[in-house]
A and B are shown apart, each in its own frame.
Chain A
Amino acid sequence: MSIWIDIARLATGVNLVLLAVLLAIWGRNYHQLRSRQTLGMLVFALLLFVENGFALYVYLLDPVLRVWFSTSVPDPAWQAMVVFHILEAFAIGFLTWVTLD
């Protein structure tokens, strides 16, 4: 019914793509540099990737939660959740932008 869950799914999917880019770059740099700093960036991206992967899973695949999220969560709650997802997408987007440079 609600468009908000679609926006949340989309933002989460965008986050996963951006984080995959960061993981590729920081994974390669860690492979070449083997330092704590590059490892820190790699672990940071990995944990955010897991977070977004888990969010997408409950929004899209989990047999119980998927139904609950798409039918029983009222719009104001979704709007608040979508703000979190979109702010996170902007944060990761800017980080990807400077990292690709």
Chain B
Amino acid sequence: MEAVLWYVLAGTRGGPNRVRILRALDERPRNPNQLAEELDLNYDTIRHHLEVMVDNDVVRASGDDYGAVYLPSPPARNHWETVETIINQLDS
């Protein structure tokens, strides 16, 4: 899981934006629309990043309905210190 987190969040072109999304989802679960507004990113960009992170089990959707909210997955929670390391480095 740690290697996945590093690659998905720090090794890819979309990594830094995924870190921002994950940080926002850590504050509270949100749907793609709220994320787009909060982070000032394109809705489709948000959808794409969420899809990649769902694929890698970094975040999970609560329900499959349109407008479902997303939150960090249990495996991501278990390795949250790794996520925090990446988040903090993005800040500084």
> Is A2 in contact with chain B by the CB < 8 A criterion?
no
> Is A71 in contact with chain B by the CB < 8 A criterion?
no
Query: Which of B13, B52, B85, B86 contacts A25, CB < 8 Å?
Result: B13
Complex alpha-carbon distance, A32 and B85, angstroms: 13
Pairwise interchain contact A29-B92, C-beta atoms closer than 8 A: no
Of the listed stretches A7-15, A33-41, A47-55, A77-85, chain B binds A33-41
Pairwise interchain contact A33-B10, C-beta atoms closer than 8 A: yes
Pairwise interchain contact A29-B89, C-beta atoms closer than 8 A: no
Pairwise interchain contact A38-B12, C-beta atoms closer than 8 A: no
Query: Which of B10, B13, B85 contacts A100, CB < 8 Å?
Result: B13
- A29-B16, A101-B52 given; A35·B11 CB < 8 A: no
> Is A59 in contact with chain B by the CB < 8 A criterion?
no
User: Which residues 6-35 of B sit at the A interface, judged by CB distance below 8 A?
Assistant: 6-7, 10-16
Pairwise interchain contact A33-B86, C-beta atoms closer than 8 A: yes
Residue of A nearest to B82 (CB): A37
Pairwise interchain contact B52-A29, C-beta atoms closer than 8 A: no
Residues of B within 8 A of A26 (CB): 11
A residues near B (Cβ < 8 Å) are 25-26, 29, 32-35, 37-38, 41, 98-101
A-B contact pairs, 9 of them (CB 8 A): A25-B12, A25-B13, A29-B11, A37-B6, A37-B10, A37-B11, A38-B11, A41-B11, A101-B13
